[in-house]
Structures are given as structure tokens and as C-alpha cells.
Amino acid sequence: MNAPIPVGALDRATYIGGSDVAPILGVSPWTTPFMLFQKKVGAYVEEISPAKRRILERGARWEPIVLEMLVDELTDRGHDVEVLSTGNRYRDPEHPYLAAEIDAELIVDGEQVNGEMKTAGYFAAGAWGDYDSDEVPIYYLAQVMHGLMIQPRRRAVVAAVTGFD
């Protein structure tokens, strides 16, 4: 396993991160592959509106609560759960241009897993499928799979809370 990298130690322009994977694959509803390329080379700087910034900040503020809800849900279902760490960033040891932030690292029933916490507004809730399903939007699934490649584990758990808007 990789050792965590301190927050702020990586310049997003110097690596492909989890949120870059969906645009690269052409499955992002927000960013095209060309837009991502322009961001990486500094030819495009996205202006983030105050409303969008609030949405992004809200997601970050809610991550610990979503994690707590996930642990409660898994425990209620009879699983033994331990949170090892949150918010660690890792660089791939073989390919230094690849990196990922793992929202949570847990032990579930003796197996170490990656955890991804998401919040989605009311209108995006339908992309997640029914409660208790394994339906994750492909643009988030790409991010999760990227994380499993950088911090290799057999499984990941994704927790999503919807309807904050």
C-alpha cells in the first residue's frame, strides 16, 4: 500500500486524479476531455460561481456525516466496521502522474476497503438508483475504480446522501 501525501503537496495540474477520470473517458456531465486538457495546461481557468462554490463546500462539510451514517448503517446490518483514516491522498508508486484522494479507509468484517462519500442534490438523486441498490452513476464509479487502482483493495463502498437542495 502507498503512504499518504500531505494535503496541498500535489498540484492538480501535475497528475490525473479521480475526478479527472470521467472527463477522460467522456462520461462526465460537466467536463469534456478537451476542457480537462485545457485546465491541466493552464489554458482554461474555471470561474466558480458563489452558488457552485457553496455546493462544493457543502459536499466537503457533509463527508464526515455521510461516513458516520455509513458506519451506522453497516453496523445495524451486523457488520464489524472500523474507520482507519479519512481524506488521504496517494500517488501511484509506479506511475507518478496518477494520484487519488480516498475519502475513507475502513475495515469491514476484517477486510480493508476504500470508502467514497457523496452528496447529491434532489435533481441528481435519480442517477443513484433505488435505496440499497448498487447503482452508482458512471462518472462517480470511474472515480471509485481509479481510487482502487491507486490504493489497491478488492472492494470499495460508496455512500450517497441525496436531496440537500
Across 53-57, average pLDDT: 85
Q: Say what the pLDDT of residue 7 is.
A: 65
User: Is the pLDDT at 6 greater than 80, yes or no?
Assistant: no
CB 49 within 8 A of CB 57: no
3-class SS letters over 63-116: HHHHHHHHHHHHHHCCCCEEEEEEEEEEECCCCCCEEEEEEEEEEECCEEEEEE
Grid cell, residue 98, equals: 496518477
- Rounded to the nearest angstrom, the gap between the alpha carbon of residue 116 and the centroid of all alpha carbons in its chain is 5
User: Is the pLDDT at 122 greater than 80, yes or no?
Assistant: no
User: Is the pLDDT at 55 greater than 70, yes or no?
Assistant: yes
Q: Say what the pLDDT of residue 123 is.
A: 67
Report the percent of the chain where pLDDT is more than 90.
Answer: 65
Across 96-124, average pLDDT: 92
Phi then psi for residue 23, to 5 deg, are -60, -40
User: Is the pLDDT at 141 greater than 90, yes or no?
Assistant: yes
Across 95-112, average pLDDT: 96
The more confidently predicted of residues 21 and 58 is 21
Residue type, position 45, single letter: V
The Cα angle at residue 22 between residues 19 and 24, in degrees rounded to 5: 105
Across 139-156, average pLDDT: 96
The more confidently predicted of residues 163 and 150 is 150
Report the percent of the chain where pLDDT is more than 70.
Answer: 96
- Rounded to the nearest angstrom, the gap between the alpha carbon of residue 128 and the centroid of all alpha carbons in its chain is 15
User: Is the pLDDT at 128 greater than 50, yes or no?
Assistant: yes
pLDDT band at 165 (very low <50, low <70, confident <90, very high): very low
125 to 104, 120, 164: CA distances (angstroms) = 22, 6, 10
CB 119 within 8 A of CB 54: no
Distance CA(155)–CA(100), nearest Å, equals: 16
Which pTM was predicted?
0.88
* Mean pLDDT for all residues in the chain: 90
The Cα angle at residue 30 between residues 25 and 32, in degrees rounded to 5: 45
